[in-house]
Structure 1
């Protein structure tokens, strides 16, 4: 009999993410009423905001009707509209709880949240039972489904009505035993811009994990038509956007301006729409160039943006689009050093070739190495840090470009006094084309990401490691 008057309350089970919920049911002599799904109240009480897109009802005439065990590639919110069931859930996901079993009876006063990859099954205990469930993806013949036999000896589910006396389909009766089930892998992570400096660092961080995919522009162009159908996006948990147009001076030309807006705004906007529509966590890498550099202290995540040039304007616009995605991380960084051509390699090469450079000494910041950014991104994702903007740069004392150049000379066994400091205006005075304005202060405050449990590497020590020496 349905229990009336319970408060909305969650009870954890032994299967991670599988949570039983008591539902308030209001009854009188006419019958009863309940809010079977109420997003605001339920998410406030701790239910994941899983974004249901389809509601299904399975009506069962007879006692003993038995269905399952099915693990689909989506989350479910399961409840009973009329009647009563014995439910059995088996964790079929990769990991230490693979094969774990949880059973419970459900009537209209109970519901259960079933995460993707957990096998779902039930047996009716009353006639005319209506079993209802919301899911956060549409059924598709192309989706990957996983099944377990109802009579599996390892799961050893104690069905109230023995299966040889129950009503079940031949298809359900023929599903494989647990030993023959391929565990459900985690949802995918997609790294865009995989051929760039940060993309290569992310590949090194995640390695060849089978659920992580990498794509460069040739494989997935965000500005091309049809992005929303380019992948089965519901299979992805996270997209890390390490792709960007970064030619700051070229962006000041007519052609470069168009290319920068296309890559950093139009393409990012399309990606943001895909992420929002499919419940994807979008990680987007931003820049100190969204600030004008006029502040006398390190910039925080809450400081007003004021980009000086086209590149900074496009990054700021892209950030605003990403911020509309419910699950997003905007990782703001500066002075990035990784594999390939970069300032540090250039200075080391000049030192070895006997060239004495003139280097800007009125811009201040900290170097940020791509392996540190990759490590920080992974930390935010795996710890479930609150969504939003995070500054992520190297730590330690800020320095000018000239200071860093002198340190490179020193670490490579050369005389640092060979580096001459000049103003930005002097350095670019004879430039043949347009020059983008640079922020004079690029120092970002990393307190927020540190409070999230991530410790950025010291920029000076990272430079030593990068050059393979110690000062």
Structure 2
């Protein structure tokens, strides 16, 4: 019997990501009515916004009709329009929950969300049962789909109607047992900009994973007319865009302006188009330069952008482009330090060579080590909090560039008084060529990312570790600020 008057509610199961949903059904003397899928309400109840593209109905006229166990490469939302079923699900994904089973009866007042890689089967308990399911990808006749034998004793599903008396297809009876089935790996992750500072940190962060692909501009040209066929995009669940044109001052030149807009906007727009078309989650790295630095507090994610220079303008434009992708994470960061040419290595080189630097003391922010940025990216991808913009830097008290320089001198065994504090105007007074305006306040509020369960590491201990590692490796690099 269908239960009327339930509240919409999603409940978890022993299979990660498999949800049972109680559906409100309204009945009277005429029959009943329900909203079988209502995106806004169901997202509020805890269902993922899985973007269904196809709706299928399976009509079964006999009690005991049994179908499955099939695990296609898409998510499903299964329910019944009439009748009642016994549903069975088994986790076939690579990981510790492989082989976990769950069963439940479903009538019109109950539905189940089945994540990709979880095998799905059902047996009808009433005649004239209409089983319906929404999916977020299209069936392909050439696709390879994983199935498991319904009668496998290792699964130990207690079918209400014994399978020898049930209606099964010959194909379903012949499926392999679980012991012979290869687990289903997660969708692949593609990292672009794989040879940059962040790209190298992501290589380290994902060293324990086999489903990550790394590419640079020689592997994938985002502006190529062949971009659609550059990869089997449907195989990817996430694209991390760690590539950017970051020459802040050069962006103020005619050539640099063109390169900055091409890479940071046109390339990102092409990537966003691919992500939208294939339901891919796009992770994009942004910058404190989208703000003018005039605020007297830390910048929040919803503060209006107001970039001062070309580089900041292109990063802000890229943020808006990425926001058109339904599944997106924009990570705004500042003062990035990693494996490559950067401010900390420059200060170490100057200190070692006996040069006493003049360093800007009226710009304030926090360092962000690429290890932290990579950790935040992996956290967002795996924890899957609400999509949108997240500020990501190290934690701790904000400081100026001169303050960072003094800390570096101390850590490298030099006298911090050798660092002379100057204003931005003084520092660039004698500079040759165009100079991009910098935000005076680059401090980003970290409350939103912290609320997802990510705890940003303090900058000072990471700085100490970084300096020690550079000293040990003898890798100081000279670069002007």
Is the partner of 1:237 in helix, strand or coil? strand
Q: Is structure 2 residue 347 aligned with structure 1 residue 347?
A: yes
What is the CA-CA distance between 1:5 and the residue it aligns to? 4.7
Give the direction of change, closer, same or farther, for the CA distance of 1:24–1:362 in structure 2 (3 Å limit): closer
Match of 2:54 in 1: 54
Equivalences for 1:234-245 in 2 at 5 Å?
234-245=234-245
Q: 1:355 to 1:4 in 2, by over 3 A?
A: closer
Q: Is the counterpart of residue 34 in structure 1 residue 34 in structure 2?
A: yes
Superposed CA offset, 1:125-176 (max 9, x none): 3444332211011112454421111110111222233323333223222211
Classify 1:24/1:306 alpha carbon distance in 2 versus 1 (closer, same or farther; 3 Å): closer
Instruction: Give secondary structure in 1 for the equivalent of 2:264.
Output: helix
Distance 2:237 2:333 in 1: 23
d(CA) in 2 for partners of 1:142 and 1:311? Answer: 45
1:180 aligned residue = 180
Aligned counterparts of 1:260 and 1:74: Cα–Cα separation in 2: 37
List per-residue Cα deviations over 1:63-99 (Å, max 9, x = no partner): 4332211011111111223333332211212233322
Alignment-derived partner of residue 356 in structure 1: 356
TM-score normalized by structure 1? 0.91
Please list every run of 5 or more consecutive structure 2 residues that lacks an aligned counterpart in the other structure. Answer: 471-481
Q: Which moved more, 1:446-455 or 1:149-158?
A: 446-455
How many residue pairs end up in the alignment?
471
Gaps of 5+ in 1: none
The separation in 2 between residues aligned to 1:2 and 1:447, in whole angstroms, is 45
Scaled by the length of structure 2, the TM-score of the pair is 0.89
Alignment of 1:56-455 (within 5 A): 56-141=56-141, 143-455=143-455
8 Å Cα contact 1:411-1:469 kept in structure 2: no
The 10-residue stretch of structure 1 (24-33 or 181-190) with the greater mean CA deviation from structure 2: 24-33
Query: 1: distance between equivalents of 2:392 and 2:34?
Result: 46
CA distance in 1, matches of 2:460, 2:14: 46
State the SS of the aligned residue for 2:409. Answer: helix
Aligned-partner SS, 2:289: helix
Find the aligned partners of 1:55 and 1:355 in 2 and give their Cα distance.
Answer: 69
The answer to whether the Cα contact below 8 Å between 1:290 and 1:305 also exists between their aligned partners in 2 is yes
The CA distance in 1 between the partners of 2:406 and 2:6, in whole Å, is 70
CA distance in 1: counterparts of 2:133 and 2:107, whole angstroms:
13
Deviation at residue 6 of structure 1 after TM alignment: 4.3
Residue 469 of structure 1, CA deviation: 7.8
